[in-house]
Amino acid sequence: MRMDDNYANYSALDFAQEPSFIRWVRAGDGEAASAWERWLTDHPDRAGDVEQARRIVLAIQVREAEPAPETLSSIWNAIQVQTEEVAIKPMVPVRRTLVRRLIPYAAAASVALLAWFFLAYNPTKVVLTENAQQLALDLPDGSRVNVNAATELTYQPKSWKKERRVHLEGEAFFQVEKGEPFIVETDLGKVEVLGTSFNVKSREGYFEVDCFTGKVRVTNQNGSMQVLNPGQSTRIDLASGALTTPAVYDPGLTATWREGKFYFQEATLKEVFLEISRQYNVEITTAPEILGRKTTTFFELGNLDSALYKVCWPMQLNAKREGNVVNVE
């Protein structure tokens, strides 16, 4: 490395801003180091300024954590999902014997098909999250959805202007832009809103809606209907199959999965274990009578062992982990 003659006129603050000088001080960079050391023996009168500059550079130490690799890869997964081109469904195959007979019509058919493609073809967009993956996405009108792990969300971008409708299997938090009715369909119930934010969980027979802002109308398959105001929630009562009367929920404990926190109140262990297995991508095996027990508990994303301990210890249960399988006794 050749050293610039101008360095002779540098002040301490000039040195402190010189990239090769910074590299030398910081990392003891080999090439920069030998060049600077040589320069210093040639210019002993500059030792004071150089020392001053060295200390200034060293004083600038920022304390910061490196992002976790899982964080970086889960953001990339979400980018990947949303930059994928829309999936085209395979066409129904035509049997060989038919093909021959159909040849004369092929030209006409392809013209019709082309026309259909432009006029009526309405591809379905499918957003899928896997275990241990969450993502945020924008719908065509700017409404925002945070999707929890192991969830499938489908909608039709082309007819979005006519009808804002999504189908959900799993759990998601919606922030809906004002406009025409916005509908979330699930296998267990339907949620209708105008412009609001709310959380929907619909998994394995469990259905719950929490309203954060605006008004939310919830109906289930039996035609049972409830209107939620901000701060209220309803769920399907397992015994009667009806929606429960809107009740005030604790905002500190509700839909906190977006911050990696999971609270359960009077929930079955089955529900808790299912959430752990989704968030950590593990399989949990245990006796059926254990799954039915009720608990009020909490776990946080981060360490699987400590999550298991928090849930199991108060219930006098033991979790043994072997690879991706956890056995609870």
Q: Which is nearer to another protein, 263 or 309 (CB)?
A: 263
Q: Is residue 67 a contact point for another protein (CB under 8 A)?
A: yes
Q: How far is the CB of 177 from another protein (least distance, A)?
A: 12
Give the residue, chosen from 31, 37, 51, 70, that forms a contact with another protein under the rule CB under 8 A.
51
**Terminal Cα-to-Cα distance of the chain (whole angstroms):** 66
Q: How many other C-beta atoms can be found within 10 angstroms of the C-beta atom of residue 185?
A: 17
Give me the 92-131 binding string for another protein, x by CB under 8 A, dash otherwise. ----------------------------------------
Q: How far is the CB of 193 from another protein (least distance, A)?
A: 21
Give the residue, chosen from 61, 97, 245, 316, that forms a contact with another protein under the rule CB under 8 A.
61
Q: How far is the CB of 267 from another protein (least distance, A)?
A: 24
Q: What is the DSSP letter of 198?
A: E
Closest-CA residue to 183 (of 203, 164, 210): 164
Q: Which is nearer to another protein, 165 or 261 (CB)?
A: 261
Give the residue, chosen from 24, 36, 46, 57, that forms a contact with another protein under the rule CB under 8 A.
57
All residues at 6 or more sequence positions from 14 whose CB lies less than 8 Å from its CB, including other chains: 53
Q: What is the DSSP letter of 158?
A: G
Q: Is residue 6 a contact point for another protein (CB under 8 A)?
A: no
Q: How far is the CB of 41 from another protein (least distance, A)?
A: 14
Q: Which residue has 């300024």 as its token pair?
A: 49
Q: Which residue has 């829309």 as its token pair?
A: 86
Q: Is residue 132 a contact point for another protein (CB under 8 A)?
A: no
Give the residue, chosen from 10, 22, 232, 280, that forms a contact with another protein under the rule CB under 8 A.
22
Q: How many CA atoms lie within 13 A of 152 on its CB side?
A: 9
**Residue type at position 155:** Y
Q: Assess contact for 23 and 29: CB atoms under 8 A.
A: yes
Q: Is residue 79 a contact point for another protein (CB under 8 A)?
A: yes
CA distance 193 to 211: 10
Q: Is residue 178 a contact point for another protein (CB under 8 A)?
A: no
Per DSSP, the residues of 75-91 read: HHHHHHHHHSPPPPPPP
Interface with another protein by CB under 8 A: which residues?
A: 12-13, 16-17, 19, 22, 47-48, 51-52, 55-64, 66-67, 71-72, 75-76, 78-79, 82-83, 135-136, 138, 258-259
